[in-house]
Chain A
């Protein structure tokens, strides 16, 4: 087991390295760069082309790609992701500030999702094909089908129109700075995103429960005369939840994806909002930094989940 973890961790580092290399080269091989974008900002006494060359030289973009790559990698090992082309600030510092809102939002969404999904998934499965099942599935499918950004827009609109309330969009405060203001900014994207994820988890949990409840040991449990609650929760849910853990970890990437749009819509200063701007402005160091952080976070969470999987289900052994 320990050997397995060490091997997976080393492989993950390799994976992250591959990912970041692909992005690094992808950014530089494709046409369009920061200097072209900045062509409007002319430098007195120089033509537009000269100005672009000066900008490229200042940013080190005129060096051979391999040399740039070498500098990037050696910086990486010193914990230096370079400076943002736009703000000239170290990317590491900017990322640190922007990670907290994104992580907080994801946690809130998963909490909303689980609170909605687990009870609904169980009831829907044990009452399969009854009117209750249909209503609950319709509910889940509805939330799965509505784009979270559409929900977000509708929430913003209806609250502004009928409750005369809108979230504090220009004045974002961290959770530890001002919990109340922070929650006001977070609640709409958390609900909008959480319902969509909850719908996915609920659907998956329902089909898992149906599968598990048809197993022989569940029939045995019924035959022993156990109460429904014990059969469903202890024999059924316990085993049905194991694959759900994997689904949640797989959904993390989807959550981050969804939040790129939600953060942009709600103007939350998270990494999603950050990277959309950076991509549009060809701010390479920022794009690289965000990709690195996202890839590393998701890959290692996947490893943790696989380990949790073996712990939850003793039938699974890694070697």
Chain B
């Protein structure tokens, strides 16, 4: 019975594949086609890869130590005067030595942006993995079984969502020891409720699809139905959740850092934005570097996620 069912599935899939993809295509060709068809998505993916490279290679890509305070010769210095010979090279604009200028402590903004990528992406990835594993499981199981179980789970999720994310995070950071792990788990926790809700609503309609009904009719177990026949239908929402989710987590982390409530090390883009805004009328370089880094990264994830969604949604691909 099971073998026959599986064979039937394979045959149907193979037939469909033959219709859609007549021959195997080289990956270079596929990349080229992706860039041609989804230029925005390709741009987004490039930004994501760039930021990922910065995050992975921060120790080699940064030009100076992120905490090093640079000094320059003091122009007011005269031999015998009270003026010190050197002063902090703070709040300087972009130059060859400091590509993005320096902040008020004379630290190199470019190096801090590079290290900030590791922090932002690390926190985002950790939070989203945590959120998607729990969110998808909860969403699928809850929508599949419905009834009182669904009702109970949804009310618990409502109570999490009733907390504005920023309020949970504010409570967390002010009540616990401030470190990146609590921050990551907190940010992930905040995403779970929304993620499972989106997955659930997709499953609610997917579970009524003829192909699910057919699979049930030939005797699939609930686990197989959920994992094999329903899960692929929610892949597109999961990708959208991941792309928007990681972007919103990076934003939330930046907001906390902006409010001065996140751990101060490693360097953070939100903190650069906050520190930079205080002296931005005289030198906006720090503020712009931090703000632009957040904006570009978030934009990259959104564009890449959008393109992937269009490609992975089978109905859209076939047209």
Contacts and interface: CB of A to CB of B under 8 A. Distances in A.
A315 to B, nearest CB: 10
B170 A260 contact: yes
A144 B302 contact: yes
A30 interface: yes
B221 interface: no
A23 B299 CA distance: 35
A267 to B, nearest CB: 14
Nearest to A300: B162
B306 A137 contact: yes
Nearest to B194: A250
Contacts of A12: 155, 158
Contact of B299 (A19, A142, A290): A142
Contact of B155 (A15, A134, A149, A275): A15
Interface string B272-284: 0100010011001
A298 B174 contact: no
B163 interface: yes
A18 B159 contact: yes
Contacts of A253: 161-165
Interface stretch (B25-33, B102-110, B289-297): B289-297
Given A138-B40, A157-B284, A275 B170 contact: yes
Nearest to A303: B158
Interface in A1-41: 11-12, 14-16, 18-19, 23, 26-27, 30, 32
Interface residues of B, number: 53
A147 B291 CA distance: 8
Nearest to B39: A134
B197 interface: yes
B197 A250 contact: yes
A302 interface: yes
Interface string B115-132: 000000000000000000
Interface of A: 11-12, 14-16, 18-19, 23, 26-27, 30, 32, 134, 137-138, 141-142, 144-147, 149-150, 153-154, 157, 160-161, 200, 203, 207, 210, 214, 243, 246, 250, 253-254, 256-258, 260-261, 264, 272, 275-276, 279-280, 287, 290-291, 294-295, 298-299, 302
Given A150-B295, A287-B171, 20 more contacts: A23-B171, A134-B39, A138-B40, A141-B302, A141-B306, A142-B295, A144-B302, A145-B294, A153-B287, A203-B306, A214-B319, A246-B201, A253-B162, A257-B165, A260-B167, A264-B259, A275-B170, A280-B174, A298-B161, A298-B164
